Structure 1
Amino acid sequence: MKKIGIITIHSDLNYGAFLQAFALTTFLNNNSYYTRIIDYRKIPNSPRIYKFPKNIIYKIYNLPRLSRYRRFIAPLLSNERYNSLEELQSFNEEFDILISGSDQIWNPVCGGLNRINPAYFLAFASKDKYKKISYGSSVGSYIYDENEKKQVRKWLNEYSHISTRESSGAIQLESIINKPVKVVLDPTLLLNKDGWLQYASSVKIKSNYVLVYYIDELDEVVSYARIIADKLGLKVALITNMAKRHSKVDINIPHCGPAQFLWLFANATYIVTNSFHGTAFAVNFNKDFVSVIKRNSPQRAQTLLKNVGLYERLLTNIDELDNIPLNVDFKEANIKLDILRNDSISYLLNSIEH
């Protein structure tokens, strides 16, 4: 049995990053590989900073959510924990293959160092001991400068297979390394709805609801949800880590771990999100949805929705709500998603075996 180690962003309290790490590891374990996440704890990208005593209150308020995160991922972590690049230099775990996992690990803005993080290019690992591949590793909207290109080229030349999540990322990387770069699905889409629901945990919520999951721009996303909820006679429910309720929100849902996140998506009547992973789960679970464009990094949602034929669900202006049907026809989208899923699975397994 081949042993595989995955390095990716898994320690931030971010549902999308967390669940993509869980999905890739779980998929490979389900396919008879021994797979673990290399437990490298990077510096969080945008930690909330509060003065005393608010910093203590915030930490206490978030303890239930943090506990749920840790319990969910703990069985999939490697034996050693690495808290710095220096600690990774002694890496010698018994893996045959190392995978740079998905999410924006190749985007310096997201790597925790405010520069390219060599850990996510497997620079700490000997090419003579480990086979190196990538699955869905993303640069996001970042454009490398000439010095960064030289470094990226050096590291990626040690990889046998390279893939990313976005067409724009593939084009940029191909220009740097002069090799083909495969565009694949985000790992969360390697598992279908039934595959995910076995990990869901219920939330006490009595009303039918429009679920809001957002990354920044809360007011804008909630405004979309409020219009839809009023049309359909639903409540607006918000996944949040804030105690204060937004004026247009009916139901605050705090302290969600990944298992509760999955249940809320599976049981929503409608989903409004500006998150790529929120969009991916809405598509995967066949939920009526709109995706509000994330203006600083729209590439991931654009690529996914174009590829499954649902690009009209990506809205740039609230007035566009009047120009699309509220309900989504998933018939053709499901066919296209199955083709993409099978293609991504074939690429991944072939990368490991050859």
Structure 2
Amino acid sequence: MKIGILTLWLGVDNYGQQLQIYALQKYLRNNGHDAYLIRYAYQTDILYTSEKNKLSKKVLRLLKIFNPIKLKTYIANKILLSKVSRINKENSRGFEEFRKKYVHVSEEYYKTYDEIKINPPEADAYIVGSDQVWNPACLNSNLEVGRNLMNTFFFNFGKKDMLRIGYAASWGITELPDDWKQAISPLIVKFNFIGVREKSGIKVCEDCGYKATEFHGPAQWVCDPTLLLTAEQWRCWYKQEYEENNSEEKNKYDKNTDKPYILFYYLNNGSNFNIKALYDFAKERNLEVKYVSGNSNIDKYKKIYPTNDEWLKLIDEAEYVVTDSFHGSVFSILFNKQFATMELKGKNCGMNERLNSLFELSHISPRFIKDCDTNPDFSILDYTYNAEINNGGGEILLKVLNS
């Protein structure tokens, strides 16, 4: 079966995003399906066509000009984005090369929803997921501005009898705004199967009107695609890739490997983590800190910029892993590492559902660090655990496709 996969894929510093693309495609291809990534420019397909939105943009610009606080924030953000762009250019993580080598893609590069609606990707089935493909914050919180993204990520295109599937799709929140529910409702009911990454996502689907019918069952809770491949499959891949590119430059993060280290993978999604406390903890235990950042995070601490295979190797060989990343936690569990995860606060606290679901799905107690922002308690790093990963979502997906 030919399967077009729609997901977030254009990141330059998000390892989990890239590896979930590879994992779902690899799993489907291993099971006889012709799976490929639909190349869609979701980052720029936003609408500012209405007079209301044009006026809103003008008003916002005026506010920035005449309001010193807003102007200062605007300038600071511009400077930050410029700095992030420069850092990413100077320290490529090889994601584009990774996709060219390992990800099968559509011939067409769709720049807008209109393009994908007029000329839909050729396939027998469409799958959306994983990652936060249904999070309004990712689709653009303003429904009118983000309507193209919503229509695309809920498959409002293609033949009526096309198989429409959500696999490990994440809402990223536990409650949708009412206007989003109303807009999504007529689209989500056309899906033949929905598997959500967070347990709480089942209720969000129900709130949008997706319930069991004579044609399909209710939404189900399934594992992230990265868990469809075993630890040994991931090790085999990163070791082969690492050895193929064996060079002094490629092995730059192997220097001083005799000294045990903490891998610190920090996206700064809202934990306000006390980084200095981690370095103090590492010094007490005579550990090095290898700091990898993402999500355009910038601070004063020295960082490294590994490729996907190097990142997996760094996790696998670490003494400890400390992270606020969902996929950082996933691979720590897969490689049975002693790890700790930061609990997010504020507007991003809904994203903790990803981690709660991951811990429950793996049959382990939550491994959150307490008091992240003031006096982090790292004692959880020394607590052992025995994970029993439930990856039955893959069998469910294959059953849906084969039916």
TM-score scaled by length of structure 1: 0.85
2:190 alignment partner, SS class: coil
Deviations 1:75-94 (A, max 9, x none): 42221111222221223332
Q: Which residue of 2 aligns with 1:209?
A: 261
Distance in 2, matches of 1:311 and 1:81, equals 43
Q: Which residue of 1 aligns with 2:99?
A: 73
1:163 alignment partner, SS class: strand
Q: Which residue of 1 aligns with 2:381?
A: 326
Matched letter for residue 170 of structure 1: I
- 1:38-187 matched pairs, under 5 angstroms: 38-43=38-43, 50-51=78-79, 55=82, 58-63=84-89, 65-66=91-92, 68-74=94-100, 75-112=103-140, 114-115=142-143, 117-128=150-161, 130-141=162-173, 143-175=175-207, 176-179=209-212, 180-187=218-225
Bigger shift: 191-200 or 263-272? 191-200
Shift of 1:327: 2.9
Bigger shift: 148-157 or 211-220? 211-220
- 1:188-337 matched pairs, under 5 angstroms: 188-200=226-238, 201=242, 202=251, 203-206=253-256, 207-216=259-268, 220=273, 222-223=275-276, 225-240=278-293, 246=300, 252-254=303-305, 256-295=306-345, 296=348, 297-318=351-372, 321=377, 324-331=379-386, 333=387, 336-337=388-389
Matched letter for residue 124 of structure 1: F
Matched letter for residue 328 of structure 2: G
Identity among equivalent positions (%) equals 27
Distance in 2, matches of 1:223 and 1:308, equals 31
1:12 alignment partner, SS class: coil
| Distance verdict in 2 for CA 1:8–1:166, change over 3 Å | same
Distance in 1, matches of 2:173 and 2:356, equals 12
| Distance verdict in 2 for CA 1:219–1:93, change over 3 Å | closer
| Distance verdict in 2 for CA 1:92–1:84, change over 3 Å | closer
Deviations 1:113-151 (A, max 9, x none): 7435221111122223x2111101111115223332232
Distance in 2, matches of 1:306 and 1:231, equals 32
Larger Rg: 2
Shift of 1:25: 1.1
CA contact (8 A) 1:44 1:112 kept: no
CA contact (8 A) 2:264 2:322 kept: yes
Distance in 1, matches of 2:142 and 2:331, equals 29
CA contact (8 A) 2:3 2:36 kept: yes
Distance in 1, matches of 2:118 and 2:142, equals 23
Shift of 1:294: 1.9
Distance in 1, matches of 2:355 and 2:194, equals 21
Report the RMSD for the aligned CA atoms in angstroms.
2.8
Give yes or no for the alignment of 1:19 onto 2:68: no
CA contact (8 A) 2:324 2:343 kept: yes
Matched letter for residue 358 of structure 2: L
Shift of 1:315: 2.4
Deviations 1:40-64 (A, max 9, x none): 121179xx96459x83x65454236
Distance in 2, matches of 1:96 and 1:220, equals 46
Deviations 1:163-209 (A, max 9, x none): 10111111121233223110011111111222122332353332321
Distance in 2, matches of 1:127 and 1:134, equals 16
Matched letter for residue 310 of structure 2: Q
In structure 1, runs of 5+ residues without a counterpart are: none
Distance in 2, matches of 1:309 and 1:63, equals 40
CA contact (8 A) 1:36 1:78 kept: yes
Runs of 4+ aligned residues of structure 1 deviating over 4 Å after TM superposition are 64-67, 241-245
- 1:31-42 matched pairs, under 5 angstroms: 31-42=31-42
In structure 2, runs of 5+ residues without a counterpart are: 46-75, 213-217, 243-250
